[in-house]
A and B are shown apart, each in its own frame.
Chain A
Amino acid sequence: MSLHALTVAELAAGLKARRFSSLELTLHFLGRIERLGPELNAFVTVTADRALDDARRADDQLAKGEGGPLAGVPIAHKDIFCTDGILTTCSSKMLANFVAPYDATVVERWRAAGTVLLGKTNMDEFAMGSSNETSFYGPVRNPWDLKRVPGGSSGGSAAAVAACLAPAASGTDTGGSIRQPAALTNLTGLKPTYGRVSRYGMIAFASSLDQGGMLARSAEDAALLLKAMAGFDPRDSTSVDAPVPDYVAELAAPLKGLRVGIIREFFGAGLDPAVGKRVQDAIETLRASGASIVEVSLPALPLSVPTYYVVAPAECSSNLSRFDGVRFGHRCESPRDLLDLYKRSRGEGFGDEVKRRIMTGTYVLSAGYYDAYYLKAQKVRQLIAADFARAFGEVDVVIGPTAPTAAFELGAKTSDPITMYLNDIYTIGANLAGLPAISIPCGFVQEGGRDLPVGLQLVGPHFAESRLLAVSHQYQQLTDWHKRVPPGYE
């Protein structure tokens, strides 16, 4: 089997057994990125020199029987994570010249675990988008069909891992930005509990919703990568000081006796029937393995999209104020005065979707509108969280589709932001409630003569990552959807 088809777990084991070197592996992936990368546009920056340095260091350690759990394993980081001395753009013109002076905690921790940095992946500008079409560096293409989007905002990470240009990549998920691209590219994508992974060095979109995670090719890989990424960080006041379990060891938990709640609200109008069928099939697989399946209702959940599109823009309007052309990032040519500096730097530096959200957010926080929008949205957010909490009184996980459709064509939804926003209808609830959620491959639908992947979403109680990963892993022992690689990238 070729190196690029191996999982992170297999690569780590192969490296430790010295079956291949990290340098060999890294060169192999860099070669693939060079050959297959351009058509996908998955990377903003390929860090070849850094990767080779990292690989040599890993090989030295491995030769001495040392090195972290992921020693020598190549990975990619979403370009939202600050990387010391490396361009960190958030796929925005605003940061097209920004070389971060420090490493994000996630970057630091994966590095400490021994990973090799292949590059920084393309994304929707400042993580605002569901199709990776808002990037200043152009859209990313889905390796399952180059006419289609890979989802977003972690679209570059998704395309890179799906096309085997990297064994795994980091992502961030504010309203579905890990899970929806994972679903659209046949990957396992985990959004941990809010506070499980440090946000330090992760450029903020909506601080109360943003959470770092990963896109990988199996639940086992996700478990390994989460272990290396999670944990308290004194530099992030919202990170939670709770022990990090051994996610890999806990993958063995059986499906038998698991109580699964099907979210009634996720199977109504708007769900592509073919996608719904794949999800139902997956649920039957779980039932056949001894899980008990019941239906649960989360009545406030249909309000999650409007709630999200008040809370997230409100926070982003404030978070993005620091991009003012004064200290870093894009600055307009010869500003006449301060106001001109602000207006033109921001006007030139931000794309349309970012501007739309800044304006929406500014509006909902304005005097006279705050109560009607922001405060009301916070109340609805509590109702949604309460719905989930009630459901978890009866079941261990809730389940449903990750996205209403399979990957759509580029340009299909760019003219209508509302249609685009509705693509996150099933993922946003977990962010609003701060819950861990995972998307795993559960089959394919045929469109335009192509097989397009479908994602199954599982949501658990706070800090139930182990359970989500175990259920996913057990499902992946029964199925091999997750092992399929897009034609042409095998």
Chain B
Amino acid sequence: MEWETVIGLEIHAQLATRSKIFSGSATAYGAAPNTQANLVDLGYPGVLPVLNGEAVKMAIRFGLATGSKIARRSVFARKNYFYPDLPKGYQISQYERPVVEDGSLEIVLEDGTRKTIGITRAHLEEDAGKSLHEDFHGLSGIDLNRAGTPLLEIVSEPDLRSAKEAVAYMKKIHTLVRYLGICDGNMQEGSFRCDANVSVRPAGQAEFGTRAEIKNLNSFRFVERAINYEVDRQIDLIESGGRVVQETRLYDPDKGETRSMRSKEEANDYRYFPDPDLLPLAIGDDLVESVRATLPELPDEKAARLVRDFGLSDYDAGVLTASREMADYYETVVARLGGNAKLAANWVMGELSGALNKENLDVAASRVGADALAGLLVRIVDNTISGKIAKEVFEAMWSEGAAADAIIESKGLKQITDTSAIEGAIDEVMAKNPQQLADYRAGKDKLFGFFVGQVMKATQGKANPAQLNELLKRKLGG
């Protein structure tokens, strides 16, 4: 039977506020356990939450960037359950009335087609702390530094039809939140993670199949693998006469499989109700407009501009705008170069990206900055060096950290454009290879490449290729 996969993602983006969502504690990652937890975070008797306005602005930024409605009135609720890393015995979250609703964004599939994915809602909530089960001799340690960190939970419509689509969507959100400056996107530190709701149904069937929710996926690779595993599991189960049960599952990256965590029957009754310690969140038009005024150029707009103004392909524009840092880098190179956008694009996506990938570096940490790369490319444009020599120079720049001109100078890589010098080299090569010359003149055209190679060798690759071609053709012709 033909099966269709249906996926919806719930992405948790940790908001990049300096302090927590309901207390003044710092949110910086990696501090010693419980050093960033004050009485509010510890849920002490008598303390009260006070909403951090920066978190609200960040939620509005996200809402505006995804064409969502910004609720003029939203409500914080309590999600009640007992766990040691949840100090109050409830998590403050938005339930029935989220701050952001009804948005969408477009993803580009591998074959280049575009697809719009609905965003049901995005709501503000506080994170829980961490339970540490190792190194405590059979006991558990509790670190509440993360407790109260602001999260934006972004819930998609069940519009995704494959693991690849899910990853494309997640990457798009990842790009967007970093463009907006509302999340650092650091997946290792858990700043950006997702739960995937996965179900399958016979192709053509209108109603959804029973879904399983896979919790806490913190890399794009895990999302793809977990979904693919889960889809196969559900199809196998149904085809062998079984039934999918609604449950929460965990992905085990070591085994590459998902396994049941708890079933619907075992699920908590969270007893949500509006938090009486917090007034409903009222957002006025003036706040929305003041946030709108600070929105940066968004990735889709930027990509469209690169296509329009620089004549780049959709694909190249997409790659170059995948992160704000990459786009900034590229645009700086083009600006310094005063045009030659295509040349810049080839270099940023080629040599630069290759070098970054090899060392697993972000573009922000590149050993060759945008100004330095522009300094190299300008020497291609003004014919000081050839593209081939430029790659050699780039490697030297990467490893030595020197400027392009200094390397060209010290290594004597400057291109030879003096006609008489090139002619001299050609004459020498012709004199050393009488047989090949005779064969060429007898009609063996293929030997032209041999002469180019010999002259390049004689000039250590520095002869201007266009001039060499022209002069060689003339000389060989007799």
Q: Roughly how many angstroms separate A82 CA and B39 CA in the complex, as a whole number?
A: 12
B271 interface residue per 8 A CB criterion: yes
Q: For residue A81, which residues in chain B have a CB less than 8 angstroms away from its CB? A: 46
CB pair B80 A366 closer than 8 Å: no
Q: Roughly how many angstroms separate A374 CA and B273 CA in the complex, as a whole number?
A: 9
Closest CB in chain B relative to A368 CB, distance in Å: 9
A321-B90, A324-B89, A366-B271 are contacts. A237–B46 as well, Cβ < 8 Å? no
Closest CB in chain A relative to B241 CB, distance in Å: 32
Which chain B residue lies CB-closest to A209?
B276
A207-B277, A326-B84 are contacts. A318–B78 as well, Cβ < 8 Å? yes
A208-B276, A321-B90 are contacts. A235–B82 as well, Cβ < 8 Å? no
Which chain A residue lies CB-closest to B51?
A237
CB pair A101 B39 closer than 8 Å: yes
A305 interface residue per 8 A CB criterion: no
Q: For residue A315, which residues in chain B have a CB less than 8 angstroms away from its CB? A: 276
CB pair A370 B82 closer than 8 Å: no
Which chain A residue lies CB-closest to B50?
A237
Q: Roughly how many angstroms separate A329 CA and B88 CA in the complex, as a whole number?
A: 13
Q: Which of B45, B90, B269, B276 contacts A367 (CB 8 A)?
A: B269
| Surface stretch bound by B, among A25-33, A194-202, A410-418 | A194-202
B42 interface residue per 8 A CB criterion: yes
Which chain A residue lies CB-closest to B84?
A326
Interface-central residue, B45, B51, B84, B87, by most chain A CB under 10 Å: B45
B429 interface residue per 8 A CB criterion: no
CB pair A200 B46 closer than 8 Å: yes
A296 interface residue per 8 A CB criterion: no
CB pair B273 A314 closer than 8 Å: yes
B44 interface residue per 8 A CB criterion: yes
Q: Which of B43, B51, B142 contacts A322 (CB 8 A)?
A: B43
Q: Roughly how many angstroms separate A320 CA and B84 CA in the complex, as a whole number?
A: 14
CB pair A327 B42 closer than 8 Å: yes
Q: Which of B45, B78, B84, B278 contacts A100 (CB 8 A)?
A: B45
Which chain B residue lies CB-closest to A90?
B45
Closest CB in chain A relative to B46 CB, distance in Å: 4
Q: For residue B43, which residues in chain A have a CB less than 8 angstroms away from its CB? A: 322, 327
CB pair A322 B271 closer than 8 Å: no
CB pair A318 B50 closer than 8 Å: no
CB pair B39 A102 closer than 8 Å: yes
A contact residues, total (Cβ < 8 Å): 45
Q: Roughly how many angstroms separate A338 CA and B81 CA in the complex, as a whole number?
A: 13
CB pair A318 B44 closer than 8 Å: no
Closest CB in chain B relative to A474 CB, distance in Å: 35
B279 interface residue per 8 A CB criterion: yes
A342 interface residue per 8 A CB criterion: yes
Closest CB in chain A relative to B308 CB, distance in Å: 48
Q: Roughly how many angstroms separate A326 CA and B83 CA in the complex, as a whole number?
A: 10
Which chain A residue lies CB-closest to B24?
A235
A328 interface residue per 8 A CB criterion: yes
CB pair B49 A328 closer than 8 Å: no
Q: Which of A98, A207, A322 contacts B87 (CB 8 A)?
A: A322
CB pair B47 A365 closer than 8 Å: no
A88 interface residue per 8 A CB criterion: yes
Q: For residue A367, which residues in chain B have a CB less than 8 angstroms away from its CB? A: 269, 271
Closest CB in chain B relative to A90 CB, distance in Å: 8
Q: For residue B47, which residues in chain A have a CB less than 8 angstroms away from its CB? A: 200-201
Q: Which of A236, A321, A326 contacts B48 (CB 8 A)?
A: A236
CB pair B88 A322 closer than 8 Å: yes
Q: Which of B42, B45, B82, B89 contacts A203 (CB 8 A)?
A: B45
Q: For residue A208, which residues in chain B have a CB less than 8 angstroms away from its CB? A: 276
Q: Which of B45, B50, B80 contacts A328 (CB 8 A)?
A: B45
Q: Roughly how many angstroms separate A342 CA and B88 CA in the complex, as a whole number?
A: 13
Q: Roughly how many angstroms separate A206 CA and B142 CA in the complex, as a whole number?
A: 28
CB pair A237 B45 closer than 8 Å: no
A95-B45, A101-B44, A236-B48 are contacts. A366–B273 as well, Cβ < 8 Å? no
8 of the cross-chain contacts (CB-CB < 8 Å) are: A90-B45, A95-B45, A200-B46, A207-B276, A318-B271, A322-B43, A365-B271, A367-B271
Q: Closest 7 interchain pairs by CB?
A: A321-B89, A208-B276, A365-B271, A207-B276, A201-B46, A322-B43, A203-B45
